[in-house]
A and B are shown apart, each in its own frame.
Chain A
Amino acid sequence: MKFNDVEDLKQKFNDSVCAVAIETVQGEGGIQLVSREFLETARALTAGSGALLLIDEIQSGLGRTGEWFAYQHYDVKPDVVTIAKPVAGGLALGAVLTTNEAASCLKPGMHGSTFGGGPLACAVACTVIDQIEKRKLVKSNRELGKYFVKKLEGLKKKHACIKEVRGLGLMVAAELDSADLAKAMVPAMLERGVVINRTHETALRFLPPYTIGKKHIDEVVKALDVTLKQLEKAYSKTEAQASPEGELIAQGSTH
């Protein structure tokens, strides 16, 4: 199904669908935000048929986007949410969050894990959430994200090779017009002492720690400016573009 194509969703949805799964902000897909209309349509369709709305917040959850969960930017309540990455401060921990209604189908023995939810990972996860709250990092992520996007928009005016800047909180990407240029940017930025990565062929992805300040954003934007200036001429602007289409099914590649 085409990401954010409401008509496609309406056409393909029917009573035999047991669930619709959506990544609110596609991480590996190059930081693509689900549209309000698409998410609301998915909610309405699933609610109407008794199917479940499953939301992937593995990369976007736990405050990164400037809300605790990216779906909270929309007026939509999911039935099931998956989280993982930042939950336990670097220890392995993931979780499925559900409504009472969705959970009513489970009985003991239907699902389990030997390591999942161990005392060390859970204790650390409590500390991580408490620290995010105590230091008001969700709100600061929202503000830092706006500042970062504004700075990148400024850079876009200077560099024609930047096609688009996307972001929600500290989940940010700069889409370049060449996959080869994007690929070359990663080691070139390392040379300047900045770690970033490339996703979806043409997107430079930024997932900084919540603890950065504006000076770190300035430093990265400056390094991007210098590096782009150095490299952009060597890459033509007529590279084959990566497909903007995402997939609605869950992708486990970096989970």
Chain B
Amino acid sequence: MKLAEAKQKEAQLLLPTYDRVPLLLERGKGVYLYDSEGRKYLDFITGIGVNALGYGDPAVLKTIAKQSARLIHSSNLFYHEFTTQLAERLTRISGLDRVFLSNSGTEAWEGALKIARAYAKKTAAAELSRSGASSPWKTPSMAERMGRSRPPARQSIARCMRRFFLELNL
């Protein structure tokens, strides 16, 4: 496929969310990318910080081939050996204790915001029951608010957080 054809078909078929650089990429090798015209580019953006080991790293390719042949997807209904192998590495290098695995940074943030909300709710509840009267959360906190009224299921966490930050003038 040529660049012109890709441009024309995307304009017809995809939602218009991206203003792309006019290159049709075909492959990568080491620190270089190659386009449909056979031109070579030194890559100093790595798919926005993703391809840390460059392209075609032999160890990565070996693992992809081996694991693809064994098991690609299992869902979180079951155990597989690599969740803990990865969690051991991530906790060791970060100094933190536990890991939740998602597909993207956006989903990681969804988890982080959910934790912030649930943790505040838990500590506010504990504090309230300890002190009897006064809460450490002096204004209506996310914890209390969420405790009071559960948001409609279709309302996203991000939207709740945004509303919350807005109210706090953050």
Given A85-B105, A96-B111, does the pair A128, B48 have CB atoms closer than 8 Å?
A: no
Which stretch of A205-213, A225-233, A237-245 is in the interface? A205-213
CA distance A90 to B19 in the complex (A): 21
Interface string of B126-154 (1 = CB under 8 A from A): 01000000001111111100000000000
Q: Taking the complex as formed, is B63 at the interface, i.e. its CB lies under 8 A from any CB of chain A?
A: yes
A50 adjacent to B136 (CB under 8 Å): yes
Across the interface, name the chain B residue whose C-beta is closest to A148.
Answer: B44
Size of the A side of the interface (Cβ < 8 Å), in residues, is: 100
B120 adjacent to A18 (CB under 8 Å): yes
Kindly identify, within residues 159 to 206 of chain A, every residue whose CB is under 8 Å from any CB belonging to chain B.
171, 186-187, 190, 193-197, 205-206
**Residues of A contacting B5 in the complex (Cβ-Cβ under 8 angstroms):** none
- In this complex, the interface size class of chain B, counting residues with CB under 8 Å from chain A, is 35 or more
Partner of A113, one of B39, B48, B76: B76
Minimum CB–CB distance for B126 against chain A, Å: 10
Q: Taking the complex as formed, is B116 at the interface, i.e. its CB lies under 8 A from any CB of chain A?
A: yes
Max chain B Cβ within 10 angstroms of own Cβ: one of A16, A125, A130: A16
**Residues of A contacting B64 in the complex (Cβ-Cβ under 8 angstroms):** 89, 91, 120, 124
**Residues of A contacting B47 in the complex (Cβ-Cβ under 8 angstroms):** 90
A111 adjacent to B44 (CB under 8 Å): no
**Residues of B contacting A209 in the complex (Cβ-Cβ under 8 angstroms):** 31, 43, 46, 51-54
Given A80-B116, A105-B118, does the pair A207, B46 have CB atoms closer than 8 Å?
A: yes
Give residues in B with beta carbon < 8 Å to A.
Answer: 21, 23, 30-31, 33, 39-54, 57, 59-60, 62-64, 66-68, 70-76, 80-83, 85-86, 89-91, 93-109, 111-123, 127, 136-143, 158, 161-162, 164-165, 168-170
